[in-house]
Amino acid sequence: MDRVSVVMPAYNATATLEASMRSALAQTHADVELLVVDDCSTDGTWDVVQRLAAEDPRVVPIRQPRNAGVAAARNAGIEAATGRYIAFLDSDDRWYPDKLAIQLAAMRSEGAAVGYAAYERVDAAGRVLSRVRPPPRAGYARMLKGNCIGNLTGIYDRAIGEPRFSRMGHEDYAFWLQVVRMAGQAVCAPPERILASYLVRPGSLSANKLRAARWQWRIYRESERLGIVRAGWYFAHYAAQAVRKRI
C-alpha cells in the first residue's frame, strides 16, 4: 500500500483542528502520515497536535519557528513528508472515510499522477450551502480558465517533481496550475461521490471579488508568464465563470 502524506497547516485552530485531524486518520486507506504544521499559534493548537500525536504515531507534529503564513506552512509539510503521494487538508475542513481510497483507485485506473474530487461547502453549523462537482479531467489549458481542483481534494504523485506553494493571492490555484503543468493532466474521482467538506467562513479573503480578480491577473502574468493577449483571453473565461456562479 502506497503511503499518502497529508499536509495540514494550522493556526489558532482549536475549535476545528481535532475533527479535521481525525477525519484524515480515519481513512480506509490506512497508510497515511498526517503532518500538522503549527504556524506559531497563540491558543491551544499545539497542545491538540501533541495530544493526538501521542495517541496515533501517524501524526507528525511540526512547529514553525515563526509565523510565516499558510504557503510556508504547507511547504514545510511537503519537505518533511515521506509518502509517495501528497494531499492537503486544512484545519477546519474534513474528509469522508473513503476519500483517499476512491481517489487513488481513480488515478490508477486512468494512469494519472494527479487527482481531485467533488466536495460540499458547509457553514459553521454544518448546513450544506452547495456541492462542487468539477469536470472529469483537467489539463493545463482547462485549469487556466479557472481552478478545477479544490485544495482539500487535491492529491499528486511525487514522481512528477517537487512543486511548492508561493506566497501570493490564490496560492492554492497557482500551486495546482504548477502541478497540472508538470503532470500533464488531473482526473476527478467519480463526481457523484462527495468526498470532502469545506467550511465557508464569512468575510474570507477570497470574498472580495475585485481583489480576487487582481490576484487572478497576477497569476496569469507573473506566475504563468502569459502574454497580455493570452492572459486576457483566459481572464475573460475566469470572469464569465465567476458571473455564472453568482447567477
Instruction: Note whether 199 and 16 are within 8 A (CB).
Output: yes
Angle at 167 between CA 124 and CA 230, to 5 degrees: 100
**C-alpha cell recorded at residue 68:** 510565516
216 grid coordinates: 487572478
Residues 122 and 200: beta-carbon distance below 8 Å: yes
How sure is the predictor about 244, in pLDDT bands with cuts at 50, 70 and 90? low
The structural domains of the chain, ordered by start, are 4-202 (3.90.550.10)
Residue 157 pLDDT greater than 90, yes or no: yes
Does the structure show a pLDDT above 90 at 116? yes
119-143: per-residue pLDDT in tens? 999 998 889 999 999 999 999 999 9
pLDDT of the residue at 235 = 82
What is the spatial distance between Cα 8 and Cα 93, in angstroms, rounded to a whole number?
10
Q: Report which of 81, 94, 147 is spatially closest to residue 116, judged by C-alpha positions.
A: 147
CB 183 within 8 A of CB 226: no
Question: What type of residue sits at position 198?
Answer: Y
Q: Would the pLDDT of 212 be above 70?
A: yes
Confidence band, pLDDT 50/70/90 cuts, at residue 206: very low
CA-angle at 212, arms to 95 and 5, nearest 5°: 30
Which pLDDT does position 246 carry in this prediction?
47
**Above 50 in pLDDT, residue 205?**
no
Query: For residue range 175-198, what is the model confidence (pLDDT) as tens digits?
Result: 999 999 999 999 999 989 999 999
Average per-residue pLDDT for the chain: 92
Q: What is the pTM of this model?
A: 0.91
